[in-house]
Amino acid sequence: MPSEANRILTFQYGRQHIEVAKKLQRNDSSDEDEEPPTPDKPPSAIIKENGVNGCTKMSVIERQEILGPSPELNYKRSQSQERLQNGHTNELNRPENSLEVHLSHCLDLVKAGMESIIEDQVTSVFEAEELRSWNLLTRTNRQYEFLTWRLTIIWVMGFVVRYFFLLPLRILVFFIGVWWLIISTALIGTLPDGAFKQRVNNTMSLMCFNFLSRCISAVITYHNGDKYKPRSGICVANHTSPIDVLVLMCDSSYSLIGQSHGGFLGLLQRALARASPHIWFERSEVKDRNAVATRLKEHISVPDNPPILIFPEGTCINNTSVMQFKKGSFEVGGTIYPVAIKYDPRFGDAFWNSSRYGMLHYLLNMMSSWAIVCDVWYLPAMTRRDDESAVDFANRVKAAIARRGGLVDLQWDGQLKRMKAKKEWRELQQEEFSKRLKGE
């Protein structure tokens, strides 16, 4: 789109001025201190082109996983152990009950532990994605708007456009769209169940959600929808933001699953449930896995029901990675339809950091961004193999989503954002270390 190309050129122009200003600052400081300037990040920090948006995932170190939640899946034999076995010490001639301990047995574990302290993979995926070029949004910069007078003028012009023109219009669109959705679903709920009600609901749902997407100026590109778009069963996707539901509902109708709420959100849930079969759980039922599995099986057993949309990560990740998928939705059987969602953060960061921003603050950030641009890839349907556990099946689906979306595939549980590491994970590492000492 021409407008997107013009914005990108503006961002690149701003980036050039930032680089020039920083270079001048470094030259001034080097003249005073007579020391070479140190860059903010080493060149080796840029380790991966992330997705199609030209942004990079910044990392201080590049490493092979050792301290993972499942060490048998990612453990690499250390060079120190190979040297031991090929050197003077012969493991085969050692007595069966003897235990010979060398310092080198634990060096790579110590190294991995230090790397994890320097750069915590779990914490890094709950921070906003790094950008190559400043996008003129104050919340993602480092006082860049005050580096040069040209940047200040451009930023002020952008601020006026976003907050005094775009934001009021988007708020108006939001309120009209929400009440349109509530009223239309309430009216559809009065129709008798059947194919006619389902067709009317699908049509009105697409109209309402496409209208609502204008409140964030969403630009969504769907890929392979004619071949792989889900029609029934379970649809699973990576989770970056609450607007993931909006993004997918603009192209197809889905059933939703979640906890029942009160207030305005509860009003919206009840309106949606009248028009289409959704699954809302009471707070006492949410942790009952059997109840959840039973409701899921009942839903997918009806061929006419819309596909049910599930985000197996259970929390929002910052658009660079995919974390552990919960196995619950992969145990109930049926066909799984994977979907990969990748946002372009140059125009607005869609990631919701729930520990930092409340929902209202997050919506304000979305509506005051330039736009929300994203790509959605529908992937071929997948079924669980006879010799495959639910965990293995979940990992296979997760790997397919990560590969297609240009995301980093991580084994860590996203709930580490709110809780400590499980005792079982520590025991797995202890077992792995004991195997090394035994020479296994």
Which H or E element spans position 203? helix 195-212
pLDDT at site 82: 47
Share above pLDDT 70 across residues of the chain, in percent, rounded to a whole number: 64
- What is the C-alpha to C-alpha distance for residues 341 and 220, in angstroms, rounded to an integer? 10
pLDDT at site 102: 65
Q: State the pLDDT confidence band at 17, using cuts at 50, 70 and 90.
A: low
Question: For the chain, what is the mean pLDDT?
Answer: 77
| Tokens describing residue 219 | 């630009």
Mean pLDDT check: name the lowest of 67-81, 114-128, 361-375, 386-400: 67-81
Query: What does DSSP assign to residue 214?
Result: G
- What is the C-alpha to C-alpha distance for residues 84 and 89, in angstroms, rounded to an integer? 6
Q: State the pLDDT confidence band at 399, using cuts at 50, 70 and 90.
A: very high
Question: Could you tell me if residue 217 is left (phi over 0), alpha (psi between -120 and 50 degrees) or otherwise beta?
Answer: left
Residue with tokens 């630009």: 219
More confident residue, 336 or 92: 336
More confident residue, 440 or 230: 230
| Tokens describing residue 178 | 């929400």
Mean pLDDT check: name the lowest of 111-115, 218-222, 381-385: 111-115
Q: State the pLDDT confidence band at 328, using cuts at 50, 70 and 90.
A: confident
| Tokens describing residue 102 | 């060398």
Q: Which residues, 6+ apart, have CB-to-CB distance to 169 below 8 Å?
A: none
Angle at 285 between CA 281 and CA 288, to 5 degrees: 125
pLDDT value at 249 more than 80 = yes
Could you tell me which of 273, 215, 281 has the C-alpha nearest to residue 247?
A: 215
**How do the domains of the chain map onto residue ranges?**
139-417
Query: What average pLDDT score do residues 395-399 get?
Result: 94
Q: What is the dihedral of CA 256, 258, 260, 266, to 10 degrees?
A: -50
pLDDT at site 67: 60
pLDDT at site 21: 61
Residue with tokens 């929002």: 316
Share above pLDDT 90 across residues of the chain, in percent, rounded to a whole number: 30
Query: What average pLDDT score do residues 178-182 get?
Result: 91
Q: State the pLDDT confidence band at 404, using cuts at 50, 70 and 90.
A: very high
pLDDT value at 388 more than 70 = yes
Provide the residue type at 127 as one letter: E
Could you tell me which of 327, 319, 317, 293 has the C-alpha nearest to residue 396?
A: 327
Q: State the pLDDT confidence band at 222, using cuts at 50, 70 and 90.
A: very high
Q: Is the separation of the CB atoms in 132 and 56 below 8 Å? A: yes
pLDDT value at 406 more than 50 = yes
| Tokens describing residue 385 | 């193999």
More confident residue, 11 or 353: 353
Please return the burial class of 382, using the count of CB atoms within 10 Å of its CB with bins 0-12, 13-18 and 19+: middle
| Tokens describing residue 88 | 């003077």
Total-model pTM: 0.76
Write out pLDDT tens, residues 72-125.
555 544 444 444 444 444 444 555 555 566 666 667 667 766 666 666 667 767
Q: Is the separation of the CB atoms in 148 and 21 below 8 Å? A: yes
Question: Could you tell me if residue 426 is left (phi over 0), alpha (psi between -120 and 50 degrees) or otherwise beta?
Answer: alpha
pLDDT at site 134: 75
- What is the C-alpha to C-alpha distance for residues 120 and 297, in angstroms, rounded to an integer? 38
Question: What does each C-alpha distance from 406 to 50, 225, 317, 401 come to in angstroms?
Answer: 6, 19, 14, 8
Angle at 331 between CA 327 and CA 333, to 5 degrees: 140
- What is the C-alpha to C-alpha distance for residues 274 and 193, in angstroms, rounded to an integer? 10
Q: What is the DSSP string of 57-99?
A: EE-S------SSSSHHHH----HHHHHHHHSS--STTS-TT--
Q: Which residues, 6+ apart, have CB-to-CB distance to 417 below 8 Å?
A: 122, 126, 315, 355
Q: What is the DSSP string of 250-264?
A: TTS--EEEEE---HH
pLDDT at site 85: 47
pLDDT value at 65 more than 80 = no
